[in-house]
C-alpha cells in the first residue's frame, strides 16, 4: 500500500479536521499518524497527516479530489508520496564536520534524501564528495564576481531539480535576491545558540563571557542574516576549565546534530512557516529508522 503525507495550512476555523478525515476515509485511506496546531495568536491552523491508500487511490486523484473540500477553508495543502526522496544540494566551505556527518547519515539511510550536488567555494572536499559518486562544483566567490557566482549556483540547483539547499558551514553571505527566490528552501546551521554571540568566532565570545552552555541553531535563510525562522536548536554544557578550542570541538558535534535534525524535519514535511517562526511537528513512528542500522 502506498504511504502519503498530507500537509495543511489555513485560517483557523472549525471543521477542518473533520473534513480532512472524512475525505481520506471516503477515498479508502487510513490515517496512521496525525499532528495539528491551532495558533491562537496568528489565527492560523496547521496539520500534518500520514496515511496509507488501502484501496489503491493514486496521488493525482487524491490531490485533485481534495481541491473541492479544501476551497471553503482556503487551505494551502500538499500531498506527497513518502517513498520519493527529496533532492538536496549541500554547500560547504572549509569546515567539513557537517558535510561529513550528512554524507554518513545519507549513506546509511538515516537521512532519506537524494544528494544531487555539493557546491563549495574551495577544493578541500572535492575528493570526499566525488568518492561518494556525487557531483562536486567549485564556485569561487569574490566581491567582484558574486552575481555571476550566484547565477552558477542557481543553475546547479535548477538543473539538478533540487528542492532544498543546505548550508553546511558555507561561509559566504547569500544575496537578498537569492534568499527571497529560495524562501523556505535553504537551511543554515549557525554556530551559536545565544543571540548575543553572533558573527565571527562566537565560541571565543562565549568563552570570554564565561557561559555555561554553548549550542547551535538551524534556521531557514532569509535576507536578515542569521535571523530566519528557527527549525532546531540544542546546547552542550561547558565549564570554566575548558578552553576556546574545547568549545569549538564540542560545538562541532552539536552543530552536526542540530543540522541533521532540521533537515530530517524538513524532508518529512514536518516544518511549517508561521510568520517569523516555525511549527515543527514530532516525527512519525519509524521515520528515524535507517536502511543500515549498524
Distance CA 254, CA 231 (A): 14
Distance CA 167, CA 219 (A): 10
Q: Which residues are catalytic?
A: 226
The number of beta carbons lying within 10 Å of the beta carbon of residue 294 is 4
Q: How far is CA 245 from CA 204, 206, 242, in A?
A: 9, 12, 8
DSSP 38-51: EETTTTEEEEEEEE
* Cα 138 versus chain centre, distance: 23
Distance CA 96, CA 101 (A): 8
> Residue 197 corresponds to which cell in the numbers above?
554571540
The helix or strand, by DSSP H or E, that contains position 257, with its residue range, turns out to be helix 244-267
DSSP summary character for residue 186: E
Closest CA to 262 of 220, 292, 224: 220
Contacts of 248 (CB under 8 A, 6+ apart): 203
Distance CA 247, CA 252 (A): 9
Contacts of 64 (CB under 8 A, 6+ apart): none
Amino acid at each position: 500500500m502506498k504511504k502519503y503525507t498530507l500537509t495543511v495550512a489555513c485560517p483557523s476555523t472549525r471543521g477542518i479536521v473533520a473534513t480532512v478525515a472524512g475525505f481520506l476515509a471516503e477515498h479508502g485511506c487510513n490515517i496512521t499518524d496525525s499532528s495539528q496546531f491551532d495558533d491562537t495568536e496568528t489565527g492560523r491552523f496547521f496539520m500534518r497527516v500520514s496515511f496509507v491508500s488501502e484501496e489503491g487511490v493514486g496521488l493525482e486523484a487524491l490531490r485533485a479530489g481534495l481541491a473541492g473540500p479544501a476551497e471553503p477553508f482556503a487551505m494551502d495543502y500538499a500531498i506527497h508520496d513518502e517513498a520519493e526522496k527529496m533532492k538536496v544540494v549541500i554547500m560547504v566551505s572549509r569546515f567539513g564536520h557537517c558535510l561529513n556527518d550528512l554524507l554518513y547519515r545519507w549513506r546509511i539511510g538515516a537521512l532519506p534524501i537524494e544528494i544531487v550536488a555539493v557546491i563549495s567555494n574551495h577544493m578541500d572536499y572535492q575528493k570526499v564528495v566525488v568518492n561518494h559518486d556525487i557531483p562536486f562544483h567549485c564556485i569561487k566567490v569574490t566581491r567582484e564576481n558574486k552575481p555571476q557566482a550566484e547565477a552558477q549556483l542557481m543553475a546547479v540547483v535548477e538543473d539538478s531539480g533540487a528542492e532544498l539547499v543546505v548550508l553546511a558551514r558555507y561561509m559566504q553571505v547569500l544575496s537578498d535576491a537569492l534568499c527571497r527566490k529560495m524562501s523556505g528552501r535553504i537551511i543554515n546551521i549557525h554556530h551559536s545558540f545565544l543571540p548575543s554571540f553572533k558573527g565571527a568566532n562566537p565560541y571565543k565570545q562565549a568563552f570570554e563571557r564565561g557561559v555555561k552552555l554553548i549550542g547551535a541553531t538551524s534556521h531557514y535563510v532569509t535576507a536578515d542574516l542569521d535571523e530566519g525562522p528557527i527549525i532546531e536548536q540544542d546546547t552542550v554544557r561547558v565549564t570554566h576549565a575548558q578552553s576556546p578550542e574545547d568549545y569549538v570541538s564540542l560545538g562541532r558535534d552539536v552543530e552536526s546534530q542540530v543540522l541533521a535534525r532540521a533537515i530530517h524535519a524538513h524532508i518529512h514535511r514536518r516544518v511549517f512557516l508561521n510568520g517569523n517562526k516555525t511549527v515543527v511537528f514530532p516525527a512519525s513512528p519509524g521515520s528515524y529508522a535507517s536502511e543500515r542500522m549498524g
